[in-house]
């Protein structure tokens, strides 16, 4: 058997397997014997039919296909032992020629990343500052959370809360009807119908009003869209928002704060912490994108993107299940199939794949490893979080696969931190750089020690002149 390879783009390799005609003939005859034991061949007892009889009954092409099914996997596995490439996933049969036998398998291999001088990448880090306006908005939200709606005897205004009964008809068709409908009046809101809120503004409690609106596209009856609807509404109650004053009492109301200034300071600190965290996350993405842009090569087989896309859907499925919804139900709601949605999320999945390849390569180049003590501590944290399922969680995490998964996560966290440090120009020097610097310093010291020091340094010309003067004096 002869095995050759042809490297293709995107981390794929054609594995070409050639087998001598004698070996193929031997395998065909072996396949024919197996067939003769399984089927009745006219004129022969089971298992006794000769090769030419099996070929005559089943055809040579069928015999070849059966031989390929029986023998092809063995050929494939033997070929993998003879090549230098590690398969990323199972290869795919591309072509088979029979005279002579030549089998071509398309083999995906592992992704490759050459980041070049990734340590030279720099990206400005400028988190958005927290302003007084940001703090004021947060305080206003706290006032609203602690406010209450108070009934008033006046016509309704925008930002009031109202309770009303209404029904809408297009001709004789009832479009909607609600009693005790409660809503906050907002300018431009389109629910329950565009223009509805604007018509309610100005109505007084107990007043009934009839008006017309255009039936919108979408949620209502499609065949009625664009028609005029007659709406009859009776306003029952108008309430306005009564907010607590912005003072020290509000600070006591919302938490353990001595004064409004303390509350402001706490809000600012929390906003700054959130802003910093968000800025760090966005910054990491920006540095990774810069490293991808500066990379010499980042390649991966199409199957890697397929796998990442499937992981995205699996994660989404788990998130929806936690909310009591099935993925298929969600997809039906948004009018998509699983395949169409996979194509939609594929670009973002490929982006995540590229960034993870960069992180993995940075971890390798930087020599990052999981600290054994941190690994044990993380396992204990996860076991503790499991609560009643702690024993099952410990058994899973204490397995070789579980420990490796935790270690990989810890290394990935280190890689993310290192990428951020590199982007800011704050990364610690690599060990090889430190060793090179130490060697250079040692060489400089040795060279310095080899030089004469202080008064021992004498010009050669002066020394020669001194010797001549001494001779003249002696003479």
Q: What is the mean pLDDT of residues 339-344?
A: 92
In this prediction, residue 335 carries a pLDDT of 87
pLDDT of residue 442: 67
Q: How far apart are alpha carbons 415 and 357 in whole angstroms? A: 11
- Give tens-digit pLDDT for 379-424: 999 999 988 988 999 999 989 999 999 999 999 999 999 999 999 9
* Mean pLDDT for the stretch of residues 147-171: 94
pLDDT in tens, 297-323: 999 999 999 999 999 999 999 999 988
Helix (H, G, I), strand (E, B) or coil at 17: strand
3-state helix, strand, coil in the chain (%, to 5): 55, 20, 25
Q: What is the pLDDT of residue 456?
A: 43
40, 46 Cβ separation under 8 angstroms:
yes
Predicted pLDDT at 171: 86
Cβ proximity of 162 and 269 under 8 Å: no
Q: Could you give the percent of the chain with pLDDT greater than 90? A: 74
What is the per-residue pLDDT for 420? 96
Q: What angle do CA 130, 133, 139 make, to 5 degrees?
A: 100
Question: Percent of the chain at pLDDT above 70?
Answer: 90
- Cα 380 to its chain centre, rounded Å, is 26
b/e burial code for range 14-24 (CB count within 10 A of at least 16 → b):
bbbbebeeeeb
Tokens of residue 408, six digits: 């990989």
Backbone angles phi and psi of 94, in degrees to 5: -100, -40
In order of their start, the domains of the chain are 2-110 (3.30.70.1050), 115-147+249-288 (no CATH), 148-242 (3.10.50.40), 289-424 (1.10.3120.10)
Q: CB of 118 within 8 A of CB of 298?
A: no
**What was the pLDDT predicted at 474?**
38
pLDDT digits (tens, 9 = 90+) for 190-205: 889 999 999 999 999 9
Does residue 448 register a pLDDT over 80? no
Over residues 363-379, mean pLDDT: 94
Model pLDDT, residue 461:
43
> Average model confidence (pLDDT) for the chain?
89
pTM of the model: 0.70
Categorize the per-residue pLDDT at 216 as very low, low, confident or very high, splitting at 50, 70 and 90. confident
Would you say the C-alpha torsion 31, 33, 39, 44 has a positive or negative sign? positive
**CB 171: neighbour CB atoms within 10 A?**
11
Rounded-to-integer distance, Cα 78 and Cα 122, Å:
48
> Which stretches does DSSP call E strand in 99-203?
101-108, 112-114, 148-151, 161-170, 173-184
Q: At what angle do helices 338-366 and 302-322 cross, to 10 degrees?
A: 110
Q: What is the mean pLDDT of residues 456-473?
A: 41
Q: In what order do the strands lie in the sheet with 2-8?
A: 2-8, 12-19, 101-108, 92-98
Lowest average pLDDT, out of 232-236, 381-385, 389-393, 467-471, goes to 467-471
Place of tokens 């706290």: 142
d(CA 41, CA 35) in angstroms, rounded, equals 9
Instruction: Categorize the per-residue pLDDT at 158 as very low, low, confident or very high, splitting at 50, 70 and 90.
Output: very high
What does the pLDDT look like over 160-172, one tens digit per residue?
A: 999 999 999 998 8
- CA nearest neighbour of 307 among 13, 74, 37, 88: 88
Q: Give the pLDDT mean for 351-369.
A: 96
Band the pLDDT of 441: cuts 50, 70, 90: low
Tell me what pLDDT residue 172 has. 86
* Dist. CA 308–CA 339, nearest whole Å: 14
Helix residue spans in 152-214 (DSSP H)? 196-200
pLDDT tens per residue across span 73-126: 999 999 999 999 999 999 999 999 998 999 999 999 999 999 999 999 999 998
The tokens describing 401, both together, are: 């696969």
If one counts every other C-beta atom within 10 angstroms of the C-beta of residue 29, the result is 15
């Amino acid at each position: 058997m002869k095995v050759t390879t042809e490297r293709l783009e995107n981390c794929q390799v054609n594995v070409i397997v050639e087998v001598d005609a004698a070996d193929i003939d031997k395998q065909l005859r072996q396949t024919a014997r197996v067939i003769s034991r399984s089927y009745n061949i006219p004129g022969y007892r089971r298992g006794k039919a000769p090769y030419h009889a099996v070929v005559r009954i089943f055809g040579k092409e069928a015999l070849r296909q059966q031989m390929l099914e029986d023998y092809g996997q063995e050929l494939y596995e033997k070929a993998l032992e003879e090549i230098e490439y590690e398969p990323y996933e199972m290869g795919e049969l591309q072509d088979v020629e029979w005279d002579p036998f030549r089998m071509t398998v398309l083999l995906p291999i592992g992704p490759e990343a050459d980041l070049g001088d990734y340590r030279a990448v720099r990206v400005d880090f400028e988190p958005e500052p927290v302003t007084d306006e940001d703090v004021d908005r947060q305080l206003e939200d706290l006032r609203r959370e602690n406010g209450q709606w108070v009934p008033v005897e006046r016509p309704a205004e925008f930002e009031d809360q109202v309770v009303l009964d209404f029904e809408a008809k297009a001709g004789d068709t009832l479009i909607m009807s609600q009693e005790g409908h409660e809503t906050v009046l907002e300018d431009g809101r389109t629910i329950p119908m565009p223009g509805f809120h604007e018509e309610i503004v100005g109505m007084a409690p107990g007043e009934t009003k009839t008006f017309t609106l255009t039936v919108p596209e979408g949620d209502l009856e499609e065949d009625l869209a664009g028609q005029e609807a007659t709406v009859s509404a009776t306003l029952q109650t108008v309430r306005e928002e009564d907010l607590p004053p912005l003072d020290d009492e509000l600070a006591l109301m919302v938490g353990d704060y001595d004064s409004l200034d303390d509350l402001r300071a706490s809000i600012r600190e929390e906003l700054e912490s959130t802003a910093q965290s968000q800025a760090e996350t966005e910054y990491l993405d920006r540095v990774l994108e810069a490293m991808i842009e500066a990379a010499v090569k980042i390649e991966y087989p199409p199957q890697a993107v397929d796998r990442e896309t499937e992981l995205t859907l699996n994660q989404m499925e788990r998130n929806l299940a936690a909310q009591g919804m099935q993925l298929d139900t969600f997809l039906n709601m948004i009018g998509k199939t699983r395949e169409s949605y996979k194509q939609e999320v594929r670009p973002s999945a490929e982006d995540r794949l590229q960034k993870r390849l960069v992180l993995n390569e940075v971890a390798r180049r930087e020599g990052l490893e999981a600290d054994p003590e941190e690994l044990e501590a993380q396992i204990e944290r996860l076991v503790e979080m499991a609560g009643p399922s702690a024993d099952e969680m410990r058994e899973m995490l204490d397995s070789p696969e579980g420990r490796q998964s935790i270690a990989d996560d810890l290394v990935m966290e280190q890689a993310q931190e290192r990428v951020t440090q590199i982007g800011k120009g704050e990364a610690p020097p690599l060990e090889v750089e430190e060793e090179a610097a130490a060697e250079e310093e040692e060489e400089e010291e040795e060279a310095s020690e080899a030089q004469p020091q202080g008064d021992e340094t004498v010009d050669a010309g002066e020394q020669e002149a001194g010797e001549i003067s001494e001779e003249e004096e002696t003479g």
